[in-house]
């Protein structure tokens, strides 16, 4: 049975065979979740339902909540002066997420969008770990969404139960409050889930490239051909460009919208005579934490894959140096030595006494271990030098319109936003 399953992989159209035979097995739970969230648009009926739910929970319910339940006559604990910032921020980012997700699935299909059609070209380790990560993504989504939803639920129940709303649009005050509370909670849950869903999918796709890079690092430990190494790296760079092209608009607009939301919140809460407490600004704080967490997930995933991709240059340079030293020692020594040549270049007494301080993310791409000599026994100096030069001048990673999302870019973004925050505080609270 194992031979029968592996035989189609040898054919020219093996990836299409695998996609057709494993589609339901690998993506069944994920497709069910999309249908349950009314995000699936695989048919005309599901597309109409999806857009209807989007308009209802992202536009209609927040608008009614703000204009009908504004409660201008409420006391200080039930007033909602920051509600318009909360509704605009969540609805704006949720709209961006929904439109991008709909475009991704409609244009590429779920399987192609998640790169499952390319897994037939990967090793068994990459396929297994990526499938496991897909199943963990739904758990990760619930970890981010459920705490925010529980806090929002507690706040809404208190707000309605304490008698803030007295609008009997269904003829009964209590029934009206129950329906309004449920609709507001559903709207909050829908918007936050859609936002985190796109971020989790981006993290999942980046994790696949990390698995591929870790698998790619093993070619420097075997007697590989330079042409094969170059061809595989070009394939990885191409997939990184595809991811960057698909997500660049979403990441850029998410950064702009979430940054604008935070500055609007800061401007309102630092105005003179602004009353800020847990009753008035609690929902605003929860909204800010939700959006900032989603943005940090995007930026962390992008910088992590960029760091791993650029780590290939360091690995190739170390591989070239070890090979050159070993070749030099082997050619220079004409008399027998008391110990092998490799023992001088790679001493057996080398230990990782500082391994506890290296962190728990050390792998074949980023470690202090020397590469064994058999990995370059048939590769000439010129070929190794040309490969290292290629890696140095073709750094891969996630980019946004030509700007690489690495740690230096994040430092620049942080510096710009910190300057804007200090300027805004100077205008509102008089910092000098």
End-to-end Cα, the chain, rounded Å: 75
Rounded CA separation 287/283 (Å)? 6
| Spatial CB neighbours of 354, under 8 Å, sequence gap ≥ 6 | none
The closest of 206, 210, 230, 211 to 219, measured between CA atoms, is: 230
Q: Which of 167-181, 206-220, 321-335 has the highest mean pLDDT?
A: 206-220
What's the CA gap between 193 and 141, in Å, rounded? 8
| 270 confidence band (pLDDT: 50, 70, 90) | confident
Instruction: Report how far residue 151's alpha carbon sits from residue 156's, in angstroms, rounded to the nearest whole number.
Output: 9
Structure token digits, residue 31: 């497709």
Query: What DSSP string runs through 70-139?
Result: --TTS-TTT--TTHHHHHHHHHHHHHHHHHHHHHHHHHH-HHHHTTGGGGGGS-HHHHHHHHHHHHHHHH
Measured CA to CA, the distance from residue 239 to residue 208 in angstroms comes to: 10
| Confidence check: pLDDT of 374 > 80 | no
Which of residues 335 and 31 earns the better pLDDT score? Answer: 31
Which of helix, strand or coil describes residue 416?
helix
- Work out the pLDDT band at 355, boundaries 50, 70, 90: very low
- Residues 168 and 418: their CA atoms lie apart, in Å, by 47
**Whole-number mean pLDDT of the chain?**
78
The conformational region for residue 40 under phi > 0 = left, psi -120 to 50 = alpha, else beta, is beta
* Burial letters 369-407, b for 16+ CB under 10 A, else e: ebbebebbeebeeebbeebbebbeeeebbbbbeeebbbe
Q: What is the mean pLDDT of residues 309-315?
A: 84
Quick one: how many helices (H) and strands (E) in the chain? Answer: 13, 2
* Range of weakest confidence among 13-17, 134-138, 149-153, 201-205: 13-17
CA distance 369 to 53: 54
Is 60 exceeded by the pLDDT of residue 373? Answer: no
Tell me the pLDDT tens digit for each residue of 42-82: 788 888 888 999 999 999 999 988 887 766 666 666 777 78
Contacts (Cβ under 8 Å, ≥6 apart) of 138: 29, 30, 33
Q: Which distant-in-sequence residues (6+ apart) come within 8 Å of 333 by Cβ?
A: 341
| Structure tokens, 355 | 């391994």
Listed residue (314, 405, 407, 323) closest to 365, CA to CA: 314
Sorting pLDDT into bands at 50, 70 and 90, what band is 97?
very high
Alpha-carbon distance of 372 to 394, in angstroms, equals: 26
């Amino acid at each position: 049975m194992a031979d029968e399953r592996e035989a189609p992989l040898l054919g020219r159209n093996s990836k299409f065979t695998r996609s057709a035979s494993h589609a339901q097995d690998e993506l069944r739970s994920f497709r069910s979740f999309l249908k349950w969230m009314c995000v699936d648009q695989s048919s005309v009926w599901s597309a109409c339902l999806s857009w209807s739910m989007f308009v209802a929970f992202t536009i209609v319910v927040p608008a009614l909540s703000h204009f009908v339940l504004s409660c201008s006559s409420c006391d200080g604990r039930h007033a909602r002066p920051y509600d318009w910032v909360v509704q605009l921020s969540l609805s704006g980012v949720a709209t961006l997420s929904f439109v991008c997700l709909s475009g991704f699935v409609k244009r590429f299909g779920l399987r192609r969008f998640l790169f499952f059609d390319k897994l037939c070209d990967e090793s068994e380790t990459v396929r297994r770990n990526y499938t496991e990560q897909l199943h963990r993504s739904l758990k990760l989504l619930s970890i981010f969404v459920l705490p925010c939803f529980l806090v929002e639920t507690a706040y809404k129940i208190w707000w309605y139960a304490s008698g803030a709303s007295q609008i009997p649009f269904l003829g009964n005050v209590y029934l009206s409050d129950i329906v309004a509370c449920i609709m507001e909670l559903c709207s909050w849950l829908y918007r936050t889930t859609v936002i985190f869903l796109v971020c989790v999918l981006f993290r999942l796709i980046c994790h696949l490239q990390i698995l591929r890079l870790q698998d790619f690092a093993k070619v420097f430990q075997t007697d590989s051909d330079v042409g094969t190494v170059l061809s595989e790296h070009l394939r990885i760079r191409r997939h990184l460009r595809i991811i960057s092209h698909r997500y660049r608009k979403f990441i850029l607009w998410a950064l702009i919208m979430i940054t604008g939301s935070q500055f609007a919140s800061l401007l309102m809460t630092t105005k003179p005579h602004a009353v800020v407490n847990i009753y008035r600004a609690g929902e605003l704080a929860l909204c800010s934490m939700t959006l900032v967490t989603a943005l940090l997930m995007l930026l962390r995933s992008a910088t992590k894959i960029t760091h791993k991709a650029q780590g290939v240059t360091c690995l190739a340079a170390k591989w070239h140096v070890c090979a050159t030293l070993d070749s030099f020692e082997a050619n220079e020594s004409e008399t027998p030595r008391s110990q092998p040549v490799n023992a001088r270049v790679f001493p057996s007494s080398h230990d990782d006494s500082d391994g506890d301080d290296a962190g728990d993310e050390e792998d074949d791409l980023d470690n202090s271990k020397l590469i064994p000599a058999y990995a370059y026994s048939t590769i000439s100096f010129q070929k190794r030098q040309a490969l290292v030069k290629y890696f140095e001048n073709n750094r891969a990673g996630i980019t946004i319109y030509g700007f690489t999302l690495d740690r230096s870019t994040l430092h620049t973004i942080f510096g710009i936003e910190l300057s804007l925050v200090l300027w805004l505080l100077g205008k509102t609270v008089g910092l000098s």
